[in-house]
Amino acid sequence: MILLFLGTLLGIIFGPALFILVPYIRNYFAGAVCKSKAKLNGKVVLITGANTGIGKETARDLAKRGARVILACRDTAKGEVAACEIRAETGNQQVIMKKLDLADTKSIRQFAENFLAEEKELHILINNAGVMLYPYAKTADGFEMHLGVNHLGHFLLTFLLLERLKQSAPARIVNVSSLAHLMGRICFHDLQGEKFYQRGLAYCQSKVANVHFTQELARRLQGTGVTVNALHPGTVQSELTRYSSVVSLLWKMFSFFLKTPQEGAQTSIYCAVAEELESVTGQYFSDCQPAYVSAHGRDDETAKKLWKVSCELLGIQWE
């Protein structure tokens, strides 16, 4: 009875204060907002995984800026719905959905072939799509799913489109990584998780691979007019957790503290359009500002070795 009384009393005393503070607390967790007013009329943008989540919100924002936006999606039904929605909202009729399955190199090569035949320019490539906490499975080419989709799929796509980016320079490549890279290690002795598999660690490995790819690609693209940066979007309410019922439940319980997809898209947008990043390359951002990269993620020798191994797995020569 005494505890109930005290609880009620504290609610009366502090309730109004908490009510006032809620918007400020929410704004803190929402993170930074891209303040650039840059217009993208005449620019061509390609975003993978743009039918939902931060990819869709990134597409919406860049469409509002006047860009021709290609949504590269595995789920064509959802992709077409997203494209229709963005066209209706922005009035930009240059929002197009194209089929792309990053878990199948044949699909990636077919997508790239069609893209190069239809699009004469590419100014911004946003490697956004990904899977997280996926039960052990392999892609169509036999790659562990996280590594295959999150790293190798985007590695191959970028390779196939790179000359178009160079021809369209100044151009930008944006790789969506994650804070999870801090816990990632490239296990060259068991890259495909065949000896030991833990899906959380597999996701972390794929995210540090994004960082390694960004830094090595930036080194190789010096002087071409094409920049490449990676980012952490924040902890976002999205479909990315759908393969783990436990994490999905936790996300729902603590949704107040998570970013919305629109909030999570801000750093992707910032890396794509911010004028001050025109010549910045090989960096990692979070909340629209440079962020810490793990010591492992900064290891140049690991990045070079991963590059070589990735080329071998994909059967390409990328010097």
Catalytic residue numbers read 203
Burial 157-178 (b: 16+ CB within 10 A, else e): bbbbbbebbeebeebbbbbbbb
289-290 sheet: strands from edge to edge: 95-99, 68-73, 44-48, 124-127, 171-176, 226-232, 284-286, 289-290
Nearest to 290 by CA among 301, 302, 299, 281: 281
Could you tell me how far CA 15 lies from the centroid of its own chain?
39
Residue 179: strand, helix, or coil:
helix
Phi (first) and psi of residue 83, to 5 degrees: -65, -45
Largest CA distance in the chain: 76
- Reading the block at residue 176, the tokens are 């969506």
Please tell me the distance from the alpha carbon of residue 130 to that of residue 126, in angstroms, as a whole number: 12
Please tell me the distance from the alpha carbon of residue 237 to that of residue 298, in angstroms, as a whole number: 29
